[in-house]
Structure 1
Amino acid sequence: MDKEIWRKRLTYVRDQWCAYPAPEALPRTRKFWVVTGLITLAVICFCAFYILYMGGRHMAFQTNAEDFGIMDQSIWNTAHGNLLHDTICNILSDTNCVSPNGYVRFAIHFEPILFPISLLYYIWSDPRILFIIQTIIVALGAYPAYWLARLRLRNEWLAGAFALLYLIYPAQLQATTSDFHAVTLTASLLLFMLYFMYTRQTLWLFVFAILSMACKEDIPLVVMTIGLWSVILQRRWKSGFALTLLGLVWFVVATKEIMPYFSPTGHPLLIARYGGSAGSSSLVKDAFLHPLSFLHTYVFEYHHLAYIHAVLAPSGYIPRPHGGGIFYLPMLAPWVLILAIPSLAINLLSSNPQQYSGLFHYNAEVVPVIIFATIESLVVARWLTRHALSALAKRGVVLAQGSSHIGRFLPRVLTWVLLVGVIFSAVRSDYYFHGQLPFSIGFQWPQTSAHMDLAQHFMDMIPADASVSAQTKLVPHLSHRTSIYMFPYAADPQYLNNQSADKLADYVLLDVTGDIYPYFDAQAYTREAKKVLASGNYGVLAAQDGYMLLKRGLPAPHTLPTAGTGQSSDPASWLFDLPTSFCSNIYVSPQEVKNSLQVDFKQPGGEAMHLAGFEVGASSPFSRTNGYGTLTTYWRVEQASKQPLQVVTLLKGSNGQEYIASMDMPELAWCPTQIWKVGSIVRLASRTFNLQKSGIPNGLAQMSIALLPQVQTSSTIMDVQARLPLQILNAPRTVTTNQSTNTLQLMPITIVD
């Protein structure tokens, strides 16, 4: 008898909680169409906003060689009969720079969905079409989120809120706004797959499984997991096992046959992120033989835990008291959340920290699982509430005279409260953590400038069939060609294993004020650019406003003495006889000076540097974790300087100590103070800086500048005696001097986490 009772109980739990029988259809009432209309309006607004936003980012040179230039060149080459050919790579820190002749993209990722996407280039051969197709496909995922939630929660308005949650979910927005990647499409495609799996529409289930797997080589692992899930929880033996087998075969063929076949090394080019071909099996061995150490390294380590929090927290979480950890709402449905394990493992096990940063496109395929798990968590919460009330009633506990109404009303209220909490968590995460909503901290609509517009003039000078090495932000505007490289690849023979000069790019296009990636040290970038100039392989075809177009075979520019002492051994300090127009970007009219003032910095020879204005591009409070700032200074040139000088941006913390915020003014590396035109006003803009590694404490700080002879080490910069003394002639009361440190305090700024 006891066995029979337990069998019935287990059957009940299976049917009511875990198992997923064919859902009972819901009639499409007027409410259904009203909510569908509202979702359609939200989808249209989403598409319009992010298509314009991403197109604007491209025109404002905010897209990157990695990966937008890579994707665009591969697709453009495919449309022109050259199968997924690509030549863009990071020679400094990645493993895909195998040959200047390039490689087939299948050596890095298996993404056959790029073939039909390439047909769009016959309609409009512009890289912005990739943003259009990506945004539309991602936005359509709001519909299966709505349909799935409607069938599970049996309420149109609750379900509509899940469509909204999907559209604003931070991981999805990160993927949608992180250039273009085929895997980003899985945010929508996998949601369609989950919906058709739940509704047992086998044909459409396999259609979207194939479309999803065509987006990246690791998606078949997700499809396999979904197939097994369907077998266990839906008891769909044939379709579930067929889906699992399809995913397994696809994964093995893609990673063991197709990718090695196209790879020059015989292995997928990014396998080094997992320790190489041997390292992958070593990871599996460590997981079984040393599970505690494995978990500590790849799960419970601080940055990996922060990644898990960044992905799951927007779906709702409750911090446990006394630092005992965090409970995430999707954990109420672990049998659904388990579907995300393949994708999370791929990111957590990678040696590339970007994959477990919570940013970029790496979590697109996790979003559908989180949406499904959150839906199920509300189902579980409602079920638990009902059964708790029922248990209380059976024990004779009467909540009120209308307890039967409470039994129906309370679970609905709890469901709405939880869902509102989830929406709030998503919005809060978007607001604080690198959000991509219009009101998020740090969000800015892309703006073009006359300097950006000038770039097209230089690009028009490059023949369509010529090979080019360019900076990361310029590459996506030059990637409709057979050979395009990211500087310094193909510009310096040392990065081509010192092959003959004919392997070098025909042209090199640089913006010395632009993004320095793949370098993270401004001096290293400047040093490399000047080495290319001095190599004798290139001459200057055109130069203006900080842009420099070099052509192979032209006479190299002459080097100039540095500060009257001859040529320095450090290439970063070399000067070249460049066209006068090259430094035209540093000169501005008096009307362009911001926050006018008069401050003199005295040089040892008696000359003075005259600060005429400044502009701080940083908000207060300033976040140490994701805040970014700039400083622009304006200098009135009354006499030539006899030595190169350096501007340093400092922050005096609440503890009284000084911290370096930035000492990177790119114009000074190419247009030093001794060549400034007398009678002009010079604008110097720092590169964007952050305080993540500064160590400055929270609290009120003073942003200041100091002027000193050009030096190489930060220890010399912090030497107060090396700084030029200063005197204020005219300035607002908020601008003061600190004579003990020879700094000019520009404005107070509050530092926060």
Structure 2
Amino acid sequence: MRFKFSQVSLSKLAITAALAFFCVALILGLHRHYTFYSSYDQGIFNQVFWNNLHGRFFESSLSSQLSTNVVHQGEVPRVDYHRLGQHFTPALLLWLPLYALFPTPATLTVLQVTFVTVAGLVLYVLAREYLEPPLAGMITVSFYCANAVIGPTLSNFHDISQIPLLVFGLLLAMEKRCWWLFWVLAVLLLAVREDAGIGLFGVGVYLILSRRYPRIGLVVCSLSFGYIILLTNLVMPLFSEDISQRFMMERFGQYASGDEASTLEIIWGMVSNPGRVLVELVTPFGRTLNYLLGQWLPLAFVPAISPASWMIAGFPLLKLFLGKGESVLAINIRYAMTVVPGLFYGAILWWSKHQDLYKRSLFRYFWIFCITLTLIFSYTSSASALNRAFYFMLPDSFDPWVHISLPQQWNHVQAMRPLVAQIPPDASVSATTYIIPHLSSRREIIRLPDLRLRNDQQEVINVDYMIADLWRLKQYQVAFDQERGLLKSLVSLIDQVTAKQEYGIIGFEDGVILLQKGVDSNSEAMGKWLVFRKQLVNRLS
């Protein structure tokens, strides 16, 4: 049964929730970026957009630094490396005109928050196809409060942030029987990235098993599966070997017999070894269960008993559960967002048959408690997530104590900005992770401690500038081994290049060092560096 209530009075809840989410997420996201807490992926996507704007489509020296040629074969990063070999993301071109108006990394943060905010409003309209306004509004509030939504939204820009909007739009088009829009959105969803078809495949399975539109479901399943196989086995290898030599092995190498594998070989490895698949599916049991509970929590665990949720979200979940690595079961990073649309649509369908339950005040209070709890988890998990949007409120480590206060970070940023501004916009540069986004609107940029790259003339060069935020590493190294190791290697690198007079120190403020190739060191900057270096050596020894 479908309800046809007026949306005028009720849309206030959805609009209020959307405005609150947009304002809070945008403030936190922009604050995170401008205080130098956005990191490598933000730089990658900004460089991709910047290169697209200049006609060098999907090229990125930062992506090249992560490619199998560099990581496994020891090659030098190159500026003409096509990122489409790592992730096939033509849908990003849709937003290029907006980026052209405001060509900065902060624009990507605004885009991401906007995608997710609009997705929540489309979800509300979708829910109103079945539910009374208060219940539809509550589902919308649940969406904006979900850990799997908040965490990825406050992180670096990522292509997956487009998926909830496109899937909710596609499902709404299906409900309205607007098939031309359905197919347009299906194609756009496939264009988001190479694995977005897994979610679309789940929609097709739902259309078949629910018997609503089985023929369309068969076409959707065939289209999505065929697209994934064709893209990952024939198209993406034209750009690089990353899909078979790096990404498949890093995520699904346990199903392969060699050092590389195609998607077809991984699928066959799963089919031919069901015992391993079963083990991977349920282990580690505690983390797998916690992940599911975290995804269900904002909806008061309704998706756990909704068949439609399992049909649609089951395939993105299967991809995560069968993979390996810490990130696959982390609910506050981008991969978790692929599961969200199916869970929420399934919850809508379940509530369409149980709306009387919502009239019970005890259940409403329980649902509000669940939403409050997921907000708390979103806050407390931010320190361990990639976003660190609440770094100024929540310590990164309690033992040993690591906490950067807001005045402390802003003072540090004020000291850092003049050094960043000294680097010409067309110069090649190597920087530490959290400076990279602010310098990524250029052709030649890599991450320290690497100094070499291959330019457009196919010459291997040393970068013109090095800039490193050693102060930040100094704060975090007491609790994190990765920062400690990087700090040691950078001190050694600076000693090496200055001793050989390959680079000179031309600026040093508040633990941030700037070096330029082929110049003599500034005596004042060198003096500051030596004092800081002595303090570091005492701490690192």
Q: Deviations for 1:47-76, whole angstroms, at most 9, x for unmatched residues? A: 2222222111111001001x1111111111
In the other structure, the counterpart of 1:110 is 88
Partner of 2:303: 330
* Alpha-carbon separation, structure 2, partners of 1:373 and 1:355: 22
Are 1:551 and 2:516 matched, yes or no? yes
- Aligned with residue 351 of structure 2, among 349, 373, 378: 378
User: Is 1:294–2:277 an aligned residue pair?
Assistant: yes
2:129/2:175 contact within 8 Å kept: no
| d(CA) in 1 for partners of 2:490, 2:294 | 38
Q: What are the equivalent positions in structure 2 for 1:181-580 lying under 5 Å apart?
A: 181-263=158-240, 267=244, 269-273=246-250, 274-275=252-253, 277-278=260-261, 283-285=266-268, 287-301=270-284, 302-316=286-300, 328-381=301-354, 411-414=357-360, 417-433=362-378, 434=380, 442=394, 448-490=409-451, 502-515=460-473, 520-533=481-494, 534-535=496-497, 536=500, 537-554=502-519, 579-580=526-527
Deviation string, structure 1 residues 473-501 (Cα, Å, up to 9, x no partner): 0000000000111111236x9xx9xxx99
Cα offset for 1:133? 1.7
Give the conservation status (yes or no) of the 8 Å contact 2:416–2:510: no
Q: Match of 1:141, SS? A: helix
Aligned to 2:105: 127
Which of the residues 51, 69, 72 maps onto 2:46? Answer: 72
Q: Which amino acid aligns with 2:13?
A: L
Write the deviation string for residues 595-633 of structure 1: whole angstroms up to 9, x where unpaired. Answer: xxxxxxxxxxxxxxxxxxxxxxxxxxxxxxxxxxxxxxx
Counterpart-to-counterpart distance in 1, 2:459 and 2:423: 19
Is the 8 Å Cα contact of residues 87 and 485 (structure 1) preserved in structure 2?
A: yes
Of Structure 1 and Structure 2, the greater strand share is in 1
CA distance in 1, matches of 2:393, 2:160: 27
Greater RCO structure (CA 8 Å; 6+ sep) = 2
The answer on whether the counterparts of 1:431 and 1:440 sit within 8 Å (CA) in structure 2 is: no
Quick one: distance in 2 between partners of 1:439 and 1:467? Answer: 31
Q: Using the aligned pairs only, state the percent identity.
A: 22
Asked if the contact 2:503–2:518 (Cα under 8 Å) also holds between the matched residues in 1, the reply is yes
Rg: which structure is higher? Answer: 1
Structure 2 match to 1:736: none
Q: Secondary structure at the match of 1:508?
A: strand
Map 1:645-684 to 2 at 5 A.
Answer: 668-669=535-536, 672=538
Question: Structure 1 residues 504 and 346, CA, compared in 2 at 3 Å: closer, same or farther?
Answer: farther
Which residue pairs with 1:48 in the alignment? 23
Contact 1:540 1:551 in 2 (8 A): yes
Q: Indicate conservation of the 8 Å contact 2:143/2:298, yes or no.
A: no
Which amino acid in structure 2 is aligned with residue 579 of structure 1? M
Which amino acid is 2:366 matched to?
G
SS in 2 for 1:525: helix
Partner of residue 123, structure 2:
145
Q: Unpaired runs of 5+ in structure 1?
A: 1-22, 317-327, 383-409, 559-576, 587-665, 673-709, 713-753
How far residue 149 of structure 1 moved from its aligned partner, in angstroms, is 2.5
d(CA) in 2 for partners of 1:115, 1:164:
31
Alpha-carbon distance in 1 for matches of 2:433, 2:267 = 36
Q: Deviations over 1:685-725 (max 9, x none)?
A: xxxxxxxxxxxxxxxxxxxxxxxxx685xxxxxxxxxxxxx
| CA shift for structure 1 position 277 | 4.2
Change (3 A) 1:424 1:196: farther
Q: Is the 8 A contact 1:111 1:215 kept in 2?
A: yes
| 8 Å contact from structure 1 (residues 60, 452) kept in 2 | yes
Distance 1:280 1:422, change over 3 A: farther
- Cα deviation code 1:628-669 (max 9, x no counterpart): xxxxxxxxxxxxxxxxxxxxxxxxxxxxxxxxxxxxxx9831
User: Structure 1 residues 508 and 372, CA, compared in 2 at 3 Å: closer, same or farther?
Assistant: same
SS across alignment from 1:34? coil
Amino acid at match of 1:554: V
- Who is 2:256 aligned against? none
Contact kept? 2:145, 2:298, Cα under 8 Å: no
Q: Describe the superposition over 1:368-407 as per-residue Cα deviations: whole angstroms up to 9, x where unpaired.
A: 111122223334555xxxxxxxxxxxxxxxxxxxxxxxxx
Gaps of 5+ in 2: 254-258, 383-388, 396-403
* 1:88 corresponds to: 62
Calculate the TM-score normalised by the size of structure 2.
Answer: 0.83
2:419 maps to a residue whose letter is F
SS of 1:554's partner is coil
